[in-house]
A and B are shown apart, each in its own frame.
Chain A
């Protein structure tokens, strides 16, 4: 590295000033969420007082949210949908990625291309025909509708990420297992896949956050309160016509974000690895 001596002024200008400004921009909406959710209505709708802090914090909005709406049910729905669709996507992702990354066979290149193309299909292109199909199948207002459709967004991504990961694993162990008489299936399950746990965590955590984030399909397929997910429930039931229940909205936004943020905080490194895997070849 080039070592140049600089005073702390230069360093704060080049590092802390831009970084600080950006962090304020990034984190302010979350601070605002938290502060707003703790304000009593008398402070919330008062234009006179300084709005940046809470004078008389209250948990009323949280109590109302949990007692008057189906928020807990929405949270449960979101969780079930995210977990099941992530699991399906990982299984299908492995089934695509293992042969494509580790074997040579006719048509492999075409399949890889098709998977990449599927990943780039924007969701709004499909929601109208899918809505009609879901209706015809009688799956409207069931969690099955989103559990079936979310993997269409997640499988190509998981397959793509896992292919990159699988390629980086050396061939020797598999070859040894094959020579010892293991079948391809045994080699895959007992020798190869256990080596790839970090890849699964990356793909899984990414798929999980994507599933939590999905909104369009959930909005269209889930119109009954008892099957809704958190984003759809919050936006459809805490806004009634022109009336916004701001305190509850903020409480819902915060409570809905916390589980994702906690899971993410445990796996930041894996998440970043997954995020950058596609663009950066190490």
Chain B
């Protein structure tokens, strides 16, 4: 690589110019690199690093909104530990994350396999398929809210029309159905991301491998099990890790569809922390709930990396 030796070459260049010691110094790879990265790093430090530390500090205080806080040590975390709603929230978050991730993974893989055939209008269909992922979530969730409306749900209209149920269930009013509805809507929104990314992964697998497997007498299932799946493993791992993190920390869907109800049955860490901090004005308590999401999230990612490790066959 070129570094401090550049001026020697500059002398022979068409437009030779004299360079100050400072100029020479900034031309060094290490110096130039650091000068470049320092402004964005400071920005991230100020608006991600500092708030993170400040959040830990807040979680150790009794801090009502708009008033000074008092240091209370781990009292907020102890209170969380004793709070039955907190445990309900923990359970909800796990159910929501695991169910939605599995649905997205299986559905996304299935759809990617279907899409990995030659057919007309492939690009158009792929573009349309991504719509749930690009349209602002809150806006598409408004449509889902109307689909799941207690009185005017289209699903219930169909159930009545085909005389399956009358008047039909209250999708967001029943604790179990509300959770199920959230999982379906989350799947609806996240599945395209899985499908498109896995499809891109499938397209990198050489057809020769399938041909060789077929010649060796492998059935379609064998080809999927022993060629596709192992080669797709790294992609599945990364996509799932993203999906798990953002599903675990989901806020929008729940805020719009149920606000955590009925009776906390659909509260996730993020919405519960929001309620306590913004609704109840207890910033310290809210910060402790938000932070409490980290250990279980780390646990899930740890478990995933054991079971789905890319280099495991």
Contact = CB atoms under 8 A, between A and B. Distances in A.
Interface of A: 1-2, 14-15, 18-19, 22-23, 25-30, 32-33, 36, 44-45, 47, 51-52, 92-93, 95-96, 98-100, 103-108, 111, 114-115, 118, 120-133, 148-149, 151-152, 155-156, 159, 175, 178-181, 183-185, 209, 212-213, 215-216, 219-220, 230-232, 234-235, 244, 246, 249-250, 252-254, 256-257, 260-261, 264-265, 268, 271-272, 275-276, 278-280, 282
A129 B40 contact: no
B197 A209 contact: no
Given A15-B114, A122-B297, A181-B17, A51 B157 contact: yes
Nearest to B211: A2
A127 B51 CA distance: 8
B110 A107 contact: no
A99 B33 contact: yes
5 contacts: A15-B117, A36-B143, A148-B47, A181-B13, A280-B204
Interface string B271-312: 001100110000100110011011001000000000000000
A234 B142 contact: yes
B294 A125 contact: yes
Interface stretch (B80-88, B123-131, B171-179): B123-131
Interface residues of B, number: 103
Contact of B48 (A126, A230, A234, A235): A126
Interface of B: 1-2, 6, 9-10, 13-17, 23, 26-27, 29-30, 32-34, 36-37, 39-41, 43-44, 47-48, 50-52, 54-55, 58, 110-111, 114-115, 117, 119, 123, 125-132, 134-140, 142-147, 151-152, 154, 157, 188, 192-193, 196-197, 200-201, 204, 207, 210-211, 214, 235, 238-239, 242, 245-246, 248-249, 251-252, 255-256, 269-270, 273-274, 277-278, 283, 286-287, 290-291, 293-294, 297
A253 B136 CA distance: 9
Nearest to B199: A276
Query: Nearest 6 A-B pairs (CB), nearest first?
Result: A181-B13, A122-B249, A124-B270, A231-B138, A99-B33, A92-B40
Determine the main DSSP class of B at the interface with A. Answer: helix
A220 B29 contact: no
B132 A212 contact: no
Given A125-B291, A250-B143, A260 B136 contact: yes
A96 B142 contact: no
Most buried by A among B154, B238, B294: B154
